[in-house]
A and B are shown apart, each in its own frame.
Chain A
Amino acid sequence: MSQSKVIIENQDFNDLILKLKEHDERAWSQLNFVIKRIVLKWLSNKKLRPEHAYEIYSNTIAVLFEKFRELQFSSFSGLKSYVFSIAENKVKEFYRNDLRSKMQDRLDDVPELCYVLYMTEADGEVASEVVNKIHNLFNKLSKSEKDVMQLLYNEERTNKEASELLGINEGNLRIIKFRALQKLKEWYSHGN
Chain B
Amino acid sequence: MVIKDSLNGLTFHNDSTYEGYVLGRLTKSEEDLFEEHLLTCEHCQAQLEITEAIILGIKSSPKIEQDRNFSYNSKTAIVRYSVAASLALLLGVSAYFYLQRFNNQKDVLSDAQKSLLDSTHNSKEKDVNSIKVLSETEKSNDKELLAVAYKPNPIFENAIENYVRSGSIVIIKPALSAEVKSADMLSFEWENHTSTLVLVIFNNTGKMIFQKEVSSPFVLEDNLKKGLYYWQLESPNESLFTGKFLII
- Chain A residues with CB under 8 Å of chain B are 1, 4-5, 7-13, 16, 30-31, 33-34, 37-38, 76-77, 80, 112-115, 117-118, 127, 130-131, 133-135, 137-138, 143-144, 146-147, 149-150, 152-156, 165-169, 171-172, 174-175, 178-179, 181-182, 184-185, 188-189
Contact = CB atoms under 8 A, between A and B. Distances in A.
SS class, residues of chain B in contact with chain A: helix
Given A114-B59, A133-B57, A8 B38 contact: no
A169 B155 CA distance: 18
A8 B41 contact: yes
Nearest to B153: A175
14 contacts: A8-B1, A13-B39, A13-B40, A30-B42, A34-B35, A34-B39, A114-B53, A117-B52, A131-B56, A131-B57, A134-B57, A134-B61, A138-B61, A171-B202
Identify the 3 closest CB pairs spanning chains A and B, nearest first. Answer: A134-B57, A114-B56, A153-B58
Interface of B: 1-3, 15, 19, 22-24, 32, 35-36, 38-43, 45-47, 50, 52-61, 63-64, 68-72, 77, 155, 158-159, 161-162, 200, 202, 206, 208, 211, 239
Nearest to B23: A156
A64 B42 CA distance: 21
A146 B52 contact: no
Contacts of B68: 143, 147, 166
A137 B72 CA distance: 26
A17 B77 CA distance: 60
